[in-house]
Amino acid sequence: MIYVIDHKDSFTHNVVHQLSIYDEVECSDFNEINYSKLHKASTIVLSPGPGSPKDYPLTTKIYKKFKGKKKILGICLGFQQILFSEGGKIVEQNKIYHGFQSNVIVNKQSKLFKKGQIFKVGRYHSLKLREPFKAKNFDITMRCAISGSAMSIENNADKVYGFQFHPESFLTINGNTLIKKILSIK
């Protein structure tokens, strides 16, 4: 079972819909977590949402508690929440991407995707990761083809993954492939 923590976003149910193709999904607001179901879940997904990771201390707590014990996937805000919990700085960016389609490129750090592979993805983010970013076992594995900003992370030791873009958006081509890949990791 997959547990989606919703940060009251208007895209969360696209994520739920997409995940439901592959597994049973539970979804609740970040401040109304059903802990017994959360404990049963094999994968936790941190949803997109408004604001910045520091606005959601509860989610940070959950992330830290379950890191290494369950597979964790963060999308957009969820991606930033993982980085923030790992000591990363999340900052405003000069050029803001809302409803924007762009190309991201896989780099050689990735264990899941082929180096040089390009994905067309939908983006909705005001904030981004400030680099350099270093955390144990974490690699930045996809970058924006134009700006170079971090678009995906992998921590294959603890099974923590994240996308800054939205694999569930209709602007993302092959979004299902990306999600399937994460879910199929044993």
Partner 1 sequence: MIIYKVSGGYNIYTDFSKKIILTNKNINNFLNNFNKSKKKSETDMFIGFFGYEILCNLLGLKIKKQKKLNFYKGAFYKPETVIKIRKKISIFSKIKKQRFNSSFKATKILSPFKLNIDFKKYEKIFNVFSKKIRQGETYQIKICTKYKNKSDIDPINFFWKLMKVNASPEAFMIRDKNYSIVSCSPETLIDKKGLNILTKPIAGTLRKNKNLNKTKALSFFRRNIKETKEHNMIVDMERSDLSKICNPGSVKIIKEKTVEEYKDLYHYVTLIKGILKKSVKNIDIIKAMMPGGSVIGCPKISTLNLLNNQEKENRNIYTGSFGYMKFNGDMRFNIIIRSILNYKNTSEISVASGVVVDSNAKHEFNENYIKAKALIDLFK
Nearer to partner 1, 46 or 106 (CB): 46
92 binds partner 1 (CB under 8 A): yes
Residue 6, CB-side half-sphere exposure with 13 Å CA sphere = 16
Nearer to partner 1, 98 or 134 (CB): 98
Q: Compute the distance between CA of residue 156 and CA of residue 68 in angstroms, rounded to an integer.
A: 10
- Compare residues 91 and 157 and give the one whose CB is closer to partner 1: 91
Q: Give catalytic status of residue 166 as yes or no.
A: yes
168 is catalytic: yes
- From the list 31, 117, 126, 137, which residue makes contact with partner 1 (rule: CB under 8 A)? 126
Residue 162 interacting with partner 1 (CB under 8 A)? no
Give CA–CA dist 103/89, Å, rounded. Answer: 24
Interface map 5-24 toward partner 1 (x if CB under 8 A): ---xxxxxxx-xx--xx---
Q: Which residues sit at the interface with partner 1, rule CB under 8 A?
A: 8-14, 16-17, 20-21, 49-52, 77, 92, 96, 98-101, 122, 124-127, 166, 168-171
Residues known to be catalytic: 76, 166, 168
